[in-house]
Protein backbone atom coordinates (compact mmCIF):
# COMPACT_ATOMS: atom_id res chain seq x y z
CA UNK A 1 0.00 0.00 0.00
CA UNK A 2 1.36 3.41 -1.02
CA UNK A 3 1.91 5.87 1.79
CA UNK A 4 0.26 9.25 1.28
CA UNK A 5 2.58 12.17 0.59
CA UNK A 6 2.52 14.57 3.56
CA UNK A 7 0.65 17.82 3.18
CA UNK A 8 2.91 20.91 3.13
CA UNK A 9 2.96 22.85 6.40
CA UNK A 10 0.87 26.01 6.26
CA UNK A 11 2.73 29.23 5.59
CA UNK A 12 3.17 31.70 8.44
CA UNK A 13 1.90 34.90 6.83
CA UNK A 14 3.86 37.04 9.31
CA UNK A 15 7.02 35.95 7.48
CA UNK A 16 6.01 37.83 4.31
CA UNK A 17 8.05 41.05 4.29
CA UNK A 18 6.35 44.41 3.67
CA UNK A 19 6.81 45.82 0.18
CA UNK A 20 8.80 49.00 -0.34
CA UNK A 21 6.38 50.57 -2.79
CA UNK A 22 8.61 53.51 -3.66
CA UNK A 23 11.60 51.24 -4.22
CA UNK A 24 9.56 48.86 -6.38
CA UNK A 25 8.22 51.73 -8.50
CA UNK A 26 11.69 53.19 -9.04
CA UNK A 27 13.25 49.86 -9.92
CA UNK A 28 10.38 48.93 -12.24
CA UNK A 29 10.80 52.22 -14.10
CA UNK A 30 14.48 51.51 -14.72
CA UNK A 31 13.69 48.26 -16.55
CA UNK A 32 11.78 50.21 -19.21
CA UNK A 33 14.78 52.43 -19.99
CA UNK A 34 17.12 49.63 -21.04
CA UNK A 35 18.16 49.80 -24.69
CA UNK A 36 18.29 46.52 -26.59
CA UNK A 37 20.64 46.33 -29.57
CA UNK A 38 19.42 44.91 -32.85
CA UNK A 39 21.76 41.92 -32.71
CA UNK A 40 20.12 40.84 -29.44
CA UNK A 41 16.60 41.78 -30.49
CA UNK A 42 15.85 38.84 -32.80
CA UNK A 43 16.96 36.22 -30.28
CA UNK A 44 14.97 38.05 -27.61
CA UNK A 45 11.87 38.16 -29.80
CA UNK A 46 12.13 34.45 -30.59
CA UNK A 47 12.48 33.76 -26.88
CA UNK A 48 9.31 35.77 -26.22
CA UNK A 49 7.42 33.74 -28.85
CA UNK A 50 8.54 30.51 -27.22
CA UNK A 51 7.25 31.76 -23.85
CA UNK A 52 3.71 32.63 -24.94
CA UNK A 53 0.67 30.65 -23.85
CA UNK A 54 -1.78 31.14 -26.73
CA UNK A 55 -5.17 31.36 -25.09
CA UNK A 56 -8.85 31.17 -25.97
CA UNK A 57 -11.19 31.38 -22.99
CA UNK A 58 -14.53 32.62 -24.26
CA UNK A 59 -18.03 31.27 -23.88
CA UNK A 60 -18.23 31.08 -27.67
CA UNK A 61 -15.17 28.83 -28.02
CA UNK A 62 -15.69 25.97 -30.48
CA UNK A 63 -13.61 22.91 -31.40
CA UNK A 64 -12.70 24.58 -34.70
CA UNK A 65 -11.41 27.68 -32.93
CA UNK A 66 -9.24 25.52 -30.68
CA UNK A 67 -7.93 23.59 -33.70
CA UNK A 68 -6.96 26.89 -35.37
CA UNK A 69 -5.23 28.03 -32.19
CA UNK A 70 -3.26 24.78 -32.04
CA UNK A 71 -2.20 25.14 -35.67
CA UNK A 72 -0.97 28.66 -34.98
CA UNK A 73 0.95 27.47 -31.90
CA UNK A 74 2.80 24.94 -34.05
CA UNK A 75 3.20 27.16 -37.14
CA UNK A 76 3.49 30.78 -36.02
CA UNK A 77 4.34 32.14 -39.45
CA UNK A 78 5.17 29.71 -42.24
CA UNK A 79 6.94 32.34 -44.37
CA UNK A 80 9.56 33.07 -41.69
CA UNK A 81 11.92 30.09 -41.26
CA UNK A 82 13.38 29.03 -37.94
CA UNK A 83 10.63 30.27 -35.65
CA UNK A 84 9.92 28.30 -32.46
CA UNK A 85 6.50 27.12 -31.37
CA UNK A 86 4.68 28.82 -28.54
CA UNK A 87 5.00 27.31 -25.08
CA UNK A 88 1.39 26.18 -24.70
CA UNK A 89 -2.21 26.61 -25.67
CA UNK A 90 -4.65 27.35 -22.86
CA UNK A 91 -8.29 26.25 -23.13
CA UNK A 92 -11.29 25.36 -21.03
CA UNK A 93 -11.38 21.80 -19.61
CA UNK A 94 -14.10 20.69 -22.01
CA UNK A 95 -11.81 21.42 -24.96
CA UNK A 96 -8.65 19.73 -23.70
CA UNK A 97 -9.32 16.57 -25.72
CA UNK A 98 -9.76 18.66 -28.87
CA UNK A 99 -6.45 20.42 -28.27
CA UNK A 100 -4.65 17.14 -27.55
CA UNK A 101 -5.83 15.63 -30.83
CA UNK A 102 -5.08 18.81 -32.83
CA UNK A 103 -1.53 19.17 -31.54
CA UNK A 104 -0.58 15.55 -32.10
CA UNK A 105 1.97 13.49 -30.23
CA UNK A 106 5.13 15.09 -31.58
CA UNK A 107 4.39 18.75 -30.80
CA UNK A 108 6.43 20.39 -28.02
CA UNK A 109 3.47 22.68 -27.30
CA UNK A 110 1.93 22.00 -23.89
CA UNK A 111 -1.78 21.99 -23.15
CA UNK A 112 -2.85 24.19 -20.26
CA UNK A 113 -6.38 24.22 -18.92
CA UNK A 114 -8.03 26.66 -16.55
CA UNK A 115 -9.87 25.11 -13.64
CA UNK A 116 -11.24 25.71 -10.14
CA UNK A 117 -14.28 27.79 -11.14
CA UNK A 118 -12.28 30.07 -13.42
CA UNK A 119 -12.30 33.08 -13.42
CA UNK A 120 -14.15 33.87 -10.18
CA UNK A 121 -12.87 31.04 -8.00
CA UNK A 122 -16.29 30.95 -6.38
CA UNK A 123 -17.05 27.26 -6.29
CA UNK A 124 -17.14 24.16 -4.11
CA UNK A 125 -13.77 22.56 -3.47
CA UNK A 126 -14.91 19.06 -4.41
CA UNK A 127 -16.09 20.33 -7.81
CA UNK A 128 -12.82 22.21 -8.31
CA UNK A 129 -10.83 19.07 -7.61
CA UNK A 130 -13.02 16.98 -9.93
CA UNK A 131 -12.62 19.54 -12.72
CA UNK A 132 -8.86 19.51 -12.23
CA UNK A 133 -8.64 15.70 -12.32
CA UNK A 134 -10.81 15.48 -15.44
CA UNK A 135 -8.75 18.08 -17.30
CA UNK A 136 -5.54 16.21 -16.48
CA UNK A 137 -7.17 12.91 -17.42
CA UNK A 138 -8.15 14.37 -20.79
CA UNK A 139 -4.56 15.33 -21.53
CA UNK A 140 -3.76 18.66 -19.85
CA UNK A 141 -0.06 19.11 -19.06
CA UNK A 142 -0.70 22.16 -16.91
CA UNK A 143 -3.54 23.48 -14.77
CA UNK A 144 -4.14 27.22 -14.30
CA UNK A 145 -6.14 27.60 -11.08
CA UNK A 146 -7.51 30.78 -9.49
CA UNK A 147 -7.27 31.46 -5.79
CA UNK A 148 -10.37 32.27 -3.75
CA UNK A 149 -9.91 36.02 -3.53
CA UNK A 150 -12.91 36.44 -1.24
CA UNK A 151 -11.32 34.12 1.33
CA UNK A 152 -7.94 35.84 0.94
CA UNK A 153 -9.38 39.36 1.38
CA UNK A 154 -11.32 38.12 4.43
CA UNK A 155 -8.01 37.08 5.99
CA UNK A 156 -8.68 33.33 5.74
CA UNK A 157 -5.17 32.59 4.49
CA UNK A 158 -5.24 28.98 5.75
CA UNK A 159 -8.23 28.25 3.48
CA UNK A 160 -6.38 29.68 0.46
CA UNK A 161 -3.27 27.64 1.32
CA UNK A 162 -5.20 24.40 1.86
CA UNK A 163 -7.16 24.81 -1.38
CA UNK A 164 -3.99 25.32 -3.44
CA UNK A 165 -2.35 22.32 -1.77
CA UNK A 166 -5.42 20.17 -2.53
CA UNK A 167 -5.48 21.23 -6.19
CA UNK A 168 -1.75 20.58 -6.48
CA UNK A 169 -2.35 17.02 -5.26
CA UNK A 170 -5.21 16.60 -7.74
CA UNK A 171 -2.88 17.67 -10.58
CA UNK A 172 -0.78 14.54 -10.28
CA UNK A 173 2.08 14.94 -12.77
CA UNK A 174 0.64 18.10 -14.34
CA UNK A 175 2.23 21.41 -13.38
CA UNK A 176 0.16 23.91 -11.43
CA UNK A 177 -0.02 27.64 -12.19
CA UNK A 178 -1.72 29.62 -9.45
CA UNK A 179 -3.50 32.80 -10.60
CA UNK A 180 -3.61 35.50 -7.93
CA UNK A 181 -5.83 37.96 -9.87
CA UNK A 182 -3.63 40.77 -8.58
CA UNK A 183 -6.01 43.49 -9.78
CA UNK A 184 -8.44 42.41 -7.05
CA UNK A 185 -5.89 42.14 -4.24
CA UNK A 186 -5.64 45.89 -3.70
CA UNK A 187 -2.06 46.36 -2.50
CA UNK A 188 1.46 45.22 -3.30
CA UNK A 189 1.68 43.83 0.24
CA UNK A 190 -1.28 41.57 -0.57
CA UNK A 191 0.38 40.53 -3.83
CA UNK A 192 3.47 39.50 -1.86
CA UNK A 193 1.39 37.60 0.73
CA UNK A 194 -0.58 35.75 -1.92
CA UNK A 195 2.63 34.91 -3.80
CA UNK A 196 4.23 33.46 -0.68
CA UNK A 197 1.13 31.43 0.18
CA UNK A 198 0.90 29.99 -3.34
CA UNK A 199 4.60 29.12 -3.49
CA UNK A 200 4.61 27.36 -0.13
CA UNK A 201 1.36 25.50 -0.93
CA UNK A 202 2.97 23.86 -3.94
CA UNK A 203 2.57 26.14 -6.98
CA UNK A 204 4.92 25.37 -9.86
CA UNK A 205 4.14 28.82 -11.31
CA UNK A 206 2.55 31.95 -9.93
CA UNK A 207 0.50 34.01 -12.36
CA UNK A 208 -0.81 37.56 -12.17
CA UNK A 209 -4.21 37.53 -13.78
CA UNK A 210 -7.08 35.76 -15.47
CA UNK A 211 -7.31 38.39 -18.21
CA UNK A 212 -10.99 38.80 -17.35
CA UNK A 213 -10.70 42.09 -15.44
CA UNK A 214 -9.29 45.37 -16.70
CA UNK A 215 -6.40 45.50 -14.24
CA UNK A 216 -3.88 42.88 -15.31
CA UNK A 217 -0.10 42.42 -15.33
CA UNK A 218 2.18 45.38 -14.67
CA UNK A 219 5.93 45.58 -14.26
CA UNK A 220 5.74 46.60 -10.54
CA UNK A 221 3.35 43.74 -9.71
CA UNK A 222 5.44 41.22 -11.64
CA UNK A 223 8.57 42.50 -9.88
CA UNK A 224 7.00 41.91 -6.46
CA UNK A 225 6.10 38.35 -7.48
CA UNK A 226 9.60 37.75 -8.86
CA UNK A 227 11.09 38.94 -5.57
CA UNK A 228 8.95 36.35 -3.74
CA UNK A 229 10.27 33.70 -6.13
CA UNK A 230 13.86 34.90 -5.64
CA UNK A 231 13.60 34.87 -1.84
CA UNK A 232 12.14 31.35 -1.90
CA UNK A 233 14.95 30.19 -4.19
CA UNK A 234 17.61 31.67 -1.92
CA UNK A 235 16.12 29.84 1.08
CA UNK A 236 15.36 26.49 -0.52
CA UNK A 237 17.12 26.21 -3.89
CA UNK A 238 13.71 25.49 -5.49
CA UNK A 239 12.83 27.31 -8.72
CA UNK A 240 9.25 28.57 -9.17
CA UNK A 241 7.93 29.81 -12.50
CA UNK A 242 6.34 33.21 -13.22
CA UNK A 243 3.59 34.14 -15.67
CA UNK A 244 2.42 37.72 -16.17
CA UNK A 245 -0.89 37.63 -18.03
CA UNK A 246 -2.97 40.36 -19.62
CA UNK A 247 -1.93 43.82 -20.73
CA UNK A 248 1.32 42.82 -22.47
CA UNK A 249 0.47 43.41 -26.10
CA UNK A 250 3.68 44.68 -27.72
CA UNK A 251 7.14 43.27 -28.27
CA UNK A 252 9.02 46.18 -26.72
CA UNK A 253 7.26 45.75 -23.39
CA UNK A 254 7.80 41.98 -23.48
CA UNK A 255 11.55 42.50 -23.93
CA UNK A 256 11.55 44.80 -20.89
CA UNK A 257 9.97 41.94 -18.93
CA UNK A 258 12.81 39.64 -19.99
CA UNK A 259 15.35 42.20 -18.77
CA UNK A 260 13.54 42.31 -15.42
CA UNK A 261 13.53 38.51 -15.13
CA UNK A 262 17.24 38.25 -15.89
CA UNK A 263 18.21 40.99 -13.43
CA UNK A 264 15.87 39.89 -10.63
CA UNK A 265 15.98 36.09 -10.54
CA UNK A 266 18.69 35.28 -13.06
CA UNK A 267 19.20 33.94 -16.60
CA UNK A 268 18.16 30.43 -15.52
CA UNK A 269 14.54 31.67 -15.66
CA UNK A 270 14.83 32.74 -19.32
CA UNK A 271 13.17 29.60 -20.66
CA UNK A 272 9.52 28.67 -21.06
CA UNK A 273 9.95 26.07 -18.34
CA UNK A 274 10.14 28.94 -15.84
CA UNK A 275 8.69 32.03 -17.50
CA UNK A 276 5.57 32.52 -19.62
CA UNK A 277 3.53 35.31 -21.11
CA UNK A 278 -0.24 35.02 -21.00
CA UNK A 279 -0.85 37.35 -23.92
CA UNK A 280 -2.14 35.91 -27.19
CA UNK A 281 -2.23 39.31 -28.94
CA UNK A 282 1.48 39.68 -28.17
CA UNK A 283 2.38 36.94 -30.67
CA UNK A 284 1.32 38.95 -33.71
CA UNK A 285 3.26 42.05 -32.69
CA UNK A 286 6.38 39.96 -32.08
CA UNK A 287 5.95 38.33 -35.49
CA UNK A 288 5.66 41.77 -37.10
CA UNK A 289 8.87 42.90 -35.42
CA UNK A 290 10.72 39.76 -36.55
CA UNK A 291 9.44 40.23 -40.11
CA UNK A 292 10.76 43.81 -40.06
CA UNK A 293 14.19 42.59 -38.93
CA UNK A 294 14.13 40.11 -41.83
CA UNK A 295 13.43 42.54 -44.68
CA UNK A 296 13.22 46.03 -43.19
CA UNK A 297 9.45 46.34 -43.70
CA UNK A 298 6.41 45.77 -41.55
CA UNK A 299 3.95 43.25 -42.93
CA UNK A 300 0.26 44.18 -43.02
CA UNK A 301 -1.84 42.82 -40.17
CA UNK A 302 -3.83 40.67 -42.63
CA UNK A 303 -0.79 38.38 -42.92
CA UNK A 304 -1.22 37.31 -39.29
CA UNK A 305 -4.03 35.13 -38.02
CA UNK A 306 -6.39 36.51 -35.43
CA UNK A 307 -6.76 34.51 -32.22
Which of 165, 162, 192 is closest to 176 using CA atoms? 165
Strands, E assignment, 92-190:
110-115, 142-146, 175-179
204 part of the active site: no
Q: Which of 72, 128, 151, 243 is catalytic?
A: 243
Q: Which of 204, 207, 231, 285 is catalytic?
A: 207
Q: Give the Cα-Cα-Cα angle 176, 178, 182 (nearest 5 degrees).
A: 165
CB 277 within 8 A of CB 52: yes
Question: What H or E segment, with its residue span, contains residue 55?
Answer: strand 53-55
243 part of the active site: yes
**CA atoms of 156 and 85, how far apart (whole Å):** 41
292 part of the active site: no
Q: Which of 72, 97, 128, 144 is catalytic?
A: 144
Q: Angle, to 10 degrees, between the axis of helix 280-295 and the axis of helix 38-49?
A: 150
Catalytic residue numbers read 144, 207, 243
Amino acid sequence: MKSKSPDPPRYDISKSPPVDQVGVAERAKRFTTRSIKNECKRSGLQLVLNMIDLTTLEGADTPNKVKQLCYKANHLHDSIPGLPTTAAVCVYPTLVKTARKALGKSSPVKIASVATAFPSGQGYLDLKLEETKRAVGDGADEIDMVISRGKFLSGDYDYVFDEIAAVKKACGKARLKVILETGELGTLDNVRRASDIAIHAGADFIKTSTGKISSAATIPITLVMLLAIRDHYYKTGQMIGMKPAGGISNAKLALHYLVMVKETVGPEWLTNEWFRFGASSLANDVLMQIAKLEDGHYQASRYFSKD
